[in-house]
A and B are shown apart, each in its own frame.
Chain A
Amino acid sequence: MCLAVPAKVLEVDPTRLRARVDYLGSQTVVGIALVGGVQTGQFVLVHVGEAVQVMDEEQARDGLALWREWLDDSEPAGLP
């Protein structure tokens, strides 16, 4: 319903509340009024031309690490 794509912020225009972002190699301008304080280099989730949330990179890494850990603890040794 709410298809949204993650994009990397390349340049912030704080007066017009816009940012130039990169989504898998293509650049576009999106609104940043909903994500105050967003900075160059961060990733935002874009929906209908507006950044709706700043993605939490640490959480993204931790989430995976947690599941890997869980598997390492629970799998019998020798299994792939």
Chain B
Amino acid sequence: MTTVNLLAYRDPELFARLLRRIIPALEEQVQKLGRRVRIMEVCGTHTVSFSRTGVRQVLADFVELISGPGCPVCVTDQSDIDHMIAYAKRPGTVVATFGDMMQVPGSAASLRRQRAEGADVRVVYSPSQAVDLALENPQKQVVLLGVGFETTAPGVALSLKRAARDGVRNYFVYSVHKLTPPALKALVEDPDHRLDGFLLPGHVSAIIGRRGWTLLELLNQPAVIGGFEPLDLVVSVYRLVQEMKRPVRLVVNNYGRVVREDGNPAAQRLLEETFEAAPARWRGFGMLPQSGLEISETYRAFDARVALPVDRPVTKAVRGCRCGEVVKGKETPLQCRLFGTACTPERPLGPCMVSDEGTCSIYYQYERSHHRDRREEPHEDYALARGWRQPDA
């Protein structure tokens, strides 16, 4: 199916047909609102997909896509970043991390810089590799930086279970895992945020299921769970616009090949066993109730916060960095004065420019030139010029 169906969800002919059928519905909504439809794509992978496939450009006359809090490194509070980097300085410690943390600037240094100065920092591809590291280095303490949303936390939970089962006493996790729905609730309740609907993260939903988004139904928010291929993107946008027209909105699952009503119950049970929901501090949002995962009582011996206290530097904000507003979708990277000048992927000043799923990094890679083009191009002729819309008779 990989080859067959993934390519099928990229079929250009079907894409063009769908688009021709869908655009009138988008136009109708634009006329009704008197402005473009404002859709937040919550997931960083969606932000990448919209840019890389060109679907963002194709829909640009009708849909304003607003990148949401869907990059785990980006939403991690600066004090947590500093705390994690401080482990690299701790004697006898191996820091195990996913790759995108390496270059994130802390108040004093980054993990990459610490490693250059001799700290033992290893990039791992899976949490179980971090347990392997602990077994290979019995005289050292291995700290896994647990950064990620509902999709990532089960893998970390499995590593905790394995460490407990095998009696690995030198393995620890610093958990800054976050839960997505509470952040969306905060955005819905923010009075100056005019969002017309949410494109929900497909792979978070693979774990929590359609049912995991009940909160949005209670708030009567139009929301669609979508996949990442061009056909997924354009159909999800259409279904979202259809949902906006209804008085009572249900969360639509447009990613049925991966997302079930109940998600992955085995993963959910595992999370309940190893973690407990707790208040967490998010970059840009501040403290959000029940939005983080702390290691549960049973696994407390593996909690780096408890077992391995460490001194961290005084946290300083980067002057001028708008990452906190960007993760909330209140500003785009193009509005930041540092973007592309003082702050680039080679020399990032904030996490949004570091991670492959950070909005600034994605906009740097894909959107800078389009933005210039768009300002010069007559607005309404865009779809016409590309043959997506027929000229009026």
Give the B-binding residues of A (Cβ under 8 A): 1-4, 6-8, 22-24, 31, 33-36, 43, 45, 47-50, 52-53, 55-57, 59-64, 67-68, 70-71, 74-75, 79-80
Number of interface residues of B (CB under 8 A): 52
A16 CA / B345 CA spacing, docked (Å): 40
Known contacts A45-B203, A52-B154; A1 and B44 CB within 8 A of each other: yes
Ranked nearest first, the 3 interchain pairs of A and B with the lowest CB-CB distance are A49-B126, A2-B151, A2-B203
Specify which chain A residues have a CB less than 8 angstroms from the CB of B270 in the assembled complex. 34
Known contacts A1-B70, A2-B203, A49-B127; A23 and B2 CB within 8 A of each other: yes
Closest to B151 in A: A2
Q: From A1, A4, A33, A48, name the one whose CB has the most chain B CB atoms within 10 angstroms.
A: A1
Q: Taking the nearest CB of chain B, how far is it from the CB of A27, in angstroms?
A: 13
Are A61 and B14 in contact, CB atoms less than 8 angstroms apart? no
Chain A proximity mask over B233-261: 1 for CB below 8 Å, otherwise 0? 00100000000000000000000111110
Specify which chain B residues have a CB less than 8 angstroms from the CB of A6 in the assembled complex. 1-2, 6
Are B45 and A1 in contact, CB atoms less than 8 angstroms apart? yes
Q: Taking the nearest CB of chain B, how far is it from the CB of A4, in angstroms?
A: 5
Partner of A74, one of B21, B235, B264: B21
Specify which chain A residues have a CB less than 8 angstroms from the CB of B104 in the assembled complex. none
Known contacts A47-B203, A49-B128; A3 and B357 CB within 8 A of each other: yes
Specify which chain B residues have a CB less than 8 angstroms from the CB of A47 in the assembled complex. 151-152, 155, 203
Partner of B154, one of A1, A34, A57, A79: A34
Are A61 and B154 in contact, CB atoms less than 8 angstroms apart? no
Q: From A36, A49, A50, A68, name the one whose CB has the most chain B CB atoms within 10 angstroms.
A: A50
Q: Does B164 contact A (CB under 8 A)?
A: no
Give the A-binding residues of B (Cβ under 8 A): 1-3, 5-6, 8-9, 13-14, 17-18, 20-21, 43-45, 70-72, 98, 125-129, 148-152, 154-156, 158, 201, 203-204, 206-207, 231, 235, 256-260, 264, 266-267, 270, 356-357
Known contacts A1-B357, A7-B2; A49 and B129 CB within 8 A of each other: yes
Specify which chain A residues have a CB less than 8 angstroms from the CB of B204 in the assembled complex. 1-2
Specify which chain A residues have a CB less than 8 angstroms from the CB of B266 in the assembled complex. 33-36
Dominant secondary structure of chain A at its interface with chain B: mixed
Q: Taking the nearest CB of chain B, how far is it from the CB of A77, in angstroms?
A: 14
Known contacts A43-B1, A49-B127, A50-B155; A60 and B257 CB within 8 A of each other: yes
Specify which chain B residues have a CB less than 8 angstroms from the CB of A56 in the assembled complex. 256-258
Are B206 and A52 in contact, CB atoms less than 8 angstroms apart? yes
Are B231 and A67 in contact, CB atoms less than 8 angstroms apart? yes
Partner of A64, one of B14, B127, B158: B14
Are B44 and A34 in contact, CB atoms less than 8 angstroms apart? no
Are A4 and B2 in contact, CB atoms less than 8 angstroms apart? no
Are A49 and B258 in contact, CB atoms less than 8 angstroms apart? no
Specify which chain A residues have a CB less than 8 angstroms from the CB of B2 in the assembled complex. 6-8, 22-24, 43
Q: Taking the nearest CB of chain A, how far is it from the CB of B44, in angstroms?
A: 5
Partner of B1, one of A4, A36, A57, A62: A57
Closest to B356 in A: A3
Are A48 and B155 in contact, CB atoms less than 8 angstroms apart? yes
Are B1 and A50 in contact, CB atoms less than 8 angstroms apart? no
Are B257 and A52 in contact, CB atoms less than 8 angstroms apart? no
Are A49 and B125 in contact, CB atoms less than 8 angstroms apart? yes
Partner of A53, one of B5, B155, B206, B235: B206
A49 CA / B129 CA spacing, docked (Å): 9
Are A55 and B258 in contact, CB atoms less than 8 angstroms apart? yes
Specify which chain B residues have a CB less than 8 angstroms from the CB of A34 in the assembled complex. 154, 158, 264, 266-267, 270
A23 CA / B3 CA spacing, docked (Å): 10
Specify which chain B residues have a CB less than 8 angstroms from the CB of A24 in the assembled complex. 2-3
Specify which chain B residues have a CB less than 8 angstroms from the CB of A48 in the assembled complex. 98, 125-127, 148, 152, 155-156
Q: Taking the nearest CB of chain B, how far is it from the CB of A56, in angstroms?
A: 5
Known contacts A52-B203, A67-B18; A1 and B257 CB within 8 A of each other: no
Specify which chain A residues have a CB less than 8 angstroms from the CB of B206 in the assembled complex. 4, 45, 52-53
Specify which chain A residues have a CB less than 8 angstroms from the CB of B6 in the assembled complex. 6
A38 CA / B68 CA spacing, docked (Å): 33
Q: From A2, A36, A67, A79, name the one whose CB has the most chain B CB atoms within 10 angstroms.
A: A2
